[in-house]
Amino acid sequence: MTKILMIEDDAQYASLLTDYLKQYNIEVRNYEDPFLGLSAGIEKYDLLILDLTLPGIDGLEVCKEVVSKYDIPIIISSARSDLSDKVIGLQLGADDYLPKPYDPQEMYARIISLLRRYKKITTHEEPHYNLMLDKAKESVLLNGEVLELTPAEYVVMKLLIENRGSTVSKEQILYDSEVFQFSSDGSLAVILNRLRKKLGKEVELKTIRGVGYRLLS
């Protein structure tokens, strides 16, 4: 599992991103206190997301200290609009700068890009990170391309992505959907076969006999 350290004093931003990244098997540990974040064992994490406006210390100072001691990719995220903050942050060694407000999907894309550059994602894992759920547009993206899905196919994919790595029972798919209800296991099997064809070889959609289905991550 990918582990991200976040130093962010805005609990709402931290909670929003933490919840979003769970679907991609990414764990976020946030510290509102930057001094606690600095002593949290940074070497255990794969990436740092750093705010600039922090209590007791400027985020640029935190960036400088982290860069001097650790080899970890850093994304600065801040509502500060001064161009000099962005320039200084990148000059200090941050790898990316994403201004607030941001969409969690964009942050996710930047995270994956950095992890690839730092080779913290293996070849086996990487394809699964390229499968993304866009709830706002009710769509699924594979390698950045929108999959052409029927409403029923989207509902199934949404359940599978939200429960990535866990088995989703037939009953849950058949009866718990808010958007679409299937009439029989037969129609569900047809939809799953169509999804497998659309996903191709990059994503494994596994049947757990007698139980349900699992999207492997």
Rounded to two decimals, the pTM is: 0.61
- Report pLDDT digits (tens) over 115-129: 888 876 444 444 445
Alpha carbons 53 and 195: distance in angstroms, whole number: 45
Q: What mean pLDDT value characterizes the chain?
A: 85
> What percent of the chain is predicted at pLDDT more than 90?
43
Place 41 in a pLDDT band, splitting at 50, 70 and 90. Answer: very high
Report which of 55, 40, 102 is spatially closest to residue 75, judged by C-alpha positions.
102
Alpha carbons 80 and 9: distance in angstroms, whole number: 14
Contact 5, 197 (CB under 8 A): no
Residue pointed to by tokens 């060694």: 93
Place 149 in a pLDDT band, splitting at 50, 70 and 90. Answer: very high
Contact 142, 52 (CB under 8 A): no
Mean pLDDT of the region 177-184: 51
Mean pLDDT of the region 35-45: 96
Domains of the chain in sequence order: 2-117 (3.40.50.2300), 126-215 (1.10.10.10)
